Amino acid sequence: MRTRTLGPYEVGAVGYGAMPLSIEGRPDEARAVATVHAALDAGVTLIDTADSYYAPGGEPGHNELLVARALASYGGATDHVLVATKGGRGRTDDGGWTVKGDPGHLRRAAEGSLKRLGVEAIGLYQLHKPDPDVPFAESLGALRELAEEGKVRTVGISNADTGRIREAEAVLGDLLVSVQNRYSPAVRDGEPELRLCAELGLAYLPWSPLGGISRSALDGPGGPEARSAFHTVAEARGVSPQQVALAWLLALSPTLIPIPGASRPESIRDSAGAADLVLTGEELALLP
């Protein structure tokens, strides 16, 4: 798999978002572990998780524990795999999401993630979402302290606009290596943040990167006009429209690393194939 730069790391150009393995509708343990192993077999070296990826009513950290078990049971080397986790969110019993970015909570969250992942330091620790009730600089300061103590190697932020990105750069300096925002064929309002990350040399990790791509060109929000081009290119190439969508994303910026989710081995294998699918100028011109 081709690689891209994420701070001090070189990772596969397509990562893996492990959230589907732990939230509502999650697969059983055997299939979940097989999915992580399939990602590793396909050359994925960036796995994204969070302490808040668990089903309502469950225990925080389900996904982190699952990823740790899958890595431990893998038959090959895993020391080159970057596990990125996040803190600052939680779940409610009715399925909602909470936001908590105060320094005390973030410290406890990071220390819990350390134990669950079984590592001496978290390779990439990300603030899951700015807390409107906590000054952003205070949340960032907590992450900086964790890095200074050796508990975190690099820092990222998520769900951040350009102002937040610039503020994070000012507070964190070289510790800041990534921004994880939503971006996909269906959601493209993050272009200013994408451009700023390229300008600053920050990795841009789009979550839900396959939004708007359905198996059928006629299904999903936006109507056939929004997706028919992805399906047309896919049919001509003999690949899935999902692969074309990920290859399109990769062509947008040299610092972009998509993290598609998957709950089946065949799905992540297909997504990983996009890392080596280079679209032509003519094909890119067809895509909306």
End-to-end CA gap in the chain: 26
How many H-runs (helices) and E-runs (strands) does the chain carry? Answer: 10, 11
Q: Enumerate residues 6+ apart whose C-beta is below 8 A from 115.
A: none
Torsion angle of C-alpha atoms 277, 282, 287, 288, degrees rounded to 10: 150
Counting every residue written for the chain, the total comes to 288
Task: Scan for tokens 């009715």, then name that residue.
Answer: 94
Single-letter amino acid, residue 121: A
- Angle between helical axes of 265-272 and 29-41 (0-180°, round to 10): 20
* Residues forming the active site: 53
State the number of CA atoms in the 13 A half-sphere of 34 facing the CB. 10
CA 146, chain centre distance (Å): 21
